[in-house]
Amino acid sequence: MYDLLSGLKIIEVSSFVASPTAGLYCAQLGAEVVRIDHKAGGLDYDRYMMTSEGRSLSWENLNRAKKSVALDLNSGEGRELAAELVRQTGQLITNLPVNSFLPHDKLAEGCPELVSVRIMGWHDGRQAMDFTVNAASGYPLMTGPEDWDPATAPPVNQVLPAWDFITGAYCAFTLLAGLRHRDKTGKGIELRVPLGDVAIGTMANAGAMAEMLYRGGDRERLGNAIWGAFGRDFLSQDGKRFMVAALTPKQWKATVEAFGLAAEVAALEAELSVDFAASDHHRFVNRHRLFALFQSAAERFDYAQLAQRLTAAGATFERYRTMFEAAQDPDLVTNNPLFGPSPANPSGFEYPATRSFANVPGQDRADPRPAPYLGEHSEEVLAERLGLSSGEIAKLIDRGVVATSDKDT
């Protein structure tokens, strides 16, 4: 936690991954983010995987450092409370549809300076999720073993919902851009970010769209090889699999040195009349010959020896780990200042928790804060933002419009 965004208050009405991620990143940099949910929990409140206590580990981690207000969002009174909280706050992140009970134009009637960021599916209003926009992007049909038949090979979906996380990060940036616009003009603004546009736009920004149009067809599957450069997984003498990447002349030189292949690589260059150090193109086009050389060399060393040699030479590499191994790795987690001690998680399960990804030199990152219990801050926020008295709030609770902490449920 840093206080870089201290003083910024945000209402978040969201579910699943992209929208909560945007609020999470703002909260980790010091913003006060209040998440509003239906009193029984939003669509993602029970998202797999659940602990034996009935708490979602996904929800718990995407909502760290936030406050929680729980309202009956099926009722007109609960929806109006949510709308008034948005108006009194002035900043909104949501993935509710444009025609939901929180449309920007209606909210702005009582708050013309409102800055809202709305995550959509596709630009034309169709629904979408990470795994469906990924299907449209072409990447799953570019992934898989090199020897698969292009005509019959199935797509390979990625496990990580990458488009959701990229969209969440982009929306946090977009919100700050909207605030900058308001600071300059005094006017509010609605910013809509379609998940599908993030996927197809990122594909275009990467140059892949231009590449396919230029080549007039699709790129071949490459297995674990890096497109357009030298890189692949290799297996050491003791059965450890690791990834090597050499995208620059310096990385290439270090990799050849570490594997002890200077003479063999020079002989292959002479045979093919190429200079591998001077060209990514030559390393990529002749990758199969090079892969065979490097795999043969890898089989002469245990991984610990290779890791020492690769590190000493300044090469770029990493051993493959299972995610369970990664979660316990000293370099990745235990000794990494990104992670702090486990706070009082609603799940009751203790595990390392992330701080902000940003690292400000000379400033210590505060310990991670827990996710809230659903409705934990309902009374506090309604009193502070809307000026409701304790008696008024008590009546709302009695009528079932407002719910308080589900800690004991």
Q: Is the pLDDT of residue 403 over 80?
A: yes
Distance in angstroms (rounded) separating the CA atoms of residues 261 and 251? 14
In this prediction, residues 279-292 reach a mean pLDDT of 97
CA-based nearest residue to 9, from 106, 80, 119, 86: 86
Predicted confidence (pLDDT) per residue in 143-187, tens digit: 999 999 988 999 999 999 999 999 999 999 999 999 999 999 999
Across the chain, mean pLDDT equals 97
Where b means 16+ CB within 10 Å and e means fewer, 37-62 reads bbbebbebbebeeeeeeebbbbbbbb
pLDDT reported for residue 409: 77
Predicted confidence (pLDDT) per residue in 242-269, tens digit: 999 999 999 999 999 999 999 999 999 9
Q: Is the pLDDT of residue 408 over 90?
A: no
DSSP 331: I
pLDDT reported for residue 365: 87
Which domains does the chain possess? 9-203+343-403 (3.40.50.10540), 230-319 (3.30.1540.10)
210 contacts 135 by C-beta, under 8 angstroms: no
In this prediction, residues 9-38 reach a mean pLDDT of 97
232 contacts 209 by C-beta, under 8 angstroms: no
The per-residue DSSP string of 226-286 comes to PTTSEEEEEE-TTS-EEEEEE-SHHHHHHHHHHHT-HHHHHHHHHHHT--GGG-HHHHHHT
User: Cα-flanking dihedrals φ and ψ of residue 352, to 5°?
Assistant: -60, 140
Residues annotated as catalytic (active site), given as ranges: 164
Give the burial class of 292: count Cβ atoms within 10 A of its Cβ; 0-12 exposed, 13-18 middle, 19 or more buried.
Answer: exposed
Predicted confidence (pLDDT) per residue in 286-341, tens digit: 999 999 999 999 999 999 999 999 999 999 999 999 999 999 999 999 999 999 99
> 114: pLDDT confidence band, cut at 50, 70 and 90?
very high
Q: Is the pLDDT of residue 117 over 80?
A: yes
Cross-strand pairs, 319 = 242
Query: Is the peptide bond between 49 and the residue preceding it cis, with omega within 30 degrees of 0?
Result: yes
Taking phi first (over 0 means left), then psi (-120 to 50 degrees means alpha), and beta for anything else, what does residue 330 get? alpha
Residue carrying structure tokens 């071949």? 220
Predicted confidence (pLDDT) per residue in 207-245, tens digit: 999 999 999 999 999 999 999 999 999 999 999 999 999
107 contacts 87 by C-beta, under 8 angstroms: yes
pLDDT reported for residue 1: 66
